[in-house]
Amino acid sequence: MKISIFGKTFNQGFIPYINELMKILHENHAEISVYKPFYDFICCETGKEPQGCRNFSDLSDFDNTCDLMISIGGDGTFLESIPFVIRQNVAIIGINSGRLGFLSNISKENITDAFNSIFAGQYNLEYRTLICFKQPADLFNGMNFALNDITVKSDSSLITIDAYINDEFLNTYWTDGLIISTPTGSTAYSLSVGGPIVVPGSDNLIIAPISSHNLTVRPLIIPDNNTISLRVNSRSGQYTVTSDNRTLHLNHQEMLRIGKSEYKLKLLRLPNTSFYATLRDKLKWGEDVRN
């Protein structure tokens, strides 16, 4: 099996787990390729080079014939790894080296059991919807897609956003910004502004205002085959757009059109794991947290 590894940093306490991962990959004769900055970080932190590993630095030298991408870190690192795999339809799974992680859902204590299952072929593939800027399509140097959300936000003061669904006027938002979220992203930024949790695979998008100046304006769920058009008016003439962890500052009044991407993320799902179990675990549902 060809396996690529993407990561950024980890703390000293994670060193035994990175060694455990490399050990089980070598025992199963995996062909390993590691993101070069992460490879250099591992060498610095552990004092030794991972054996039998190739490197990749960007999309031009990424092995698009690999079978699996492993993201090591939190959800932010997971999102950064997506451009390497999305156009090649490479499966991805995340190891959580930090605290909260909805996307990176293999705990460091479960690395051996998880990869024993993977090498035994005991896993499922789950496809997650992405959204993208359909107009202008050249934003973010072509990386105009998002697994979690696309946002339009004020740089400083209040902005107004005229929103349309399939060219039918929806509302003028007086707000600090808007979040257009996928079901996957419903547990991210959208959740923090009062948006609903939506189960992946529901074929929906969420429109959630950020600090709306009209308290009757609430998050809205729409089918994901709709196109959302936004025209932003800002006192400064500038505003910010994001696509997951990528950010741009714009100063034009062009209509932004957002819809479902042609790409889907191939997510590797281990046995006995589910979205509902992740919710209970990460959000501490059913637990008395007062003590």
In angstroms and rounded to an integer, the radius of gyration of the C-alpha atoms of the chain is 20
Enumerate the active-site residues: 75
**pLDDT score of 252:** 77
Cβ(258)–Cβ(227) below 8 Å: yes
How many whole angstroms separate alpha carbon 72 and alpha carbon 58? 17
How many whole angstroms separate alpha carbon 68 and alpha carbon 104? 14
Instruction: Give the mean pLDDT of the chain.
Output: 93
Average pLDDT over residues 238-266: 93
**pLDDT score of 99:** 67
**pLDDT score of 158:** 87
**pLDDT score of 289:** 67
**pLDDT score of 100:** 66
**pLDDT score of 291:** 61
3 state SS of 246 = strand
Average pLDDT over residues 123-139: 94
Domains plus CATH for the chain?
2-123+270-282 (3.40.50.10330), 132-261 (2.60.200.30)
Cβ(195)–Cβ(220) below 8 Å: no
**pLDDT score of 224:** 97
Q: Which residue has the higher pLDDT, 113 or 271?
A: 113
pLDDT in tens, 151-208: 999 877 789 999 999 999 999 999 999 999 999 999 999 999 999 999 999 999 999 9
Q: What are phi and psi of 154, to 5 degrees?
A: -75, 145
228 has a pLDDT exceeding 90: yes
- Residue owning tokens 């990959």: 25
**pLDDT score of 273:** 84
Which run of H or of E encompasses 33?
Answer: strand 31-35
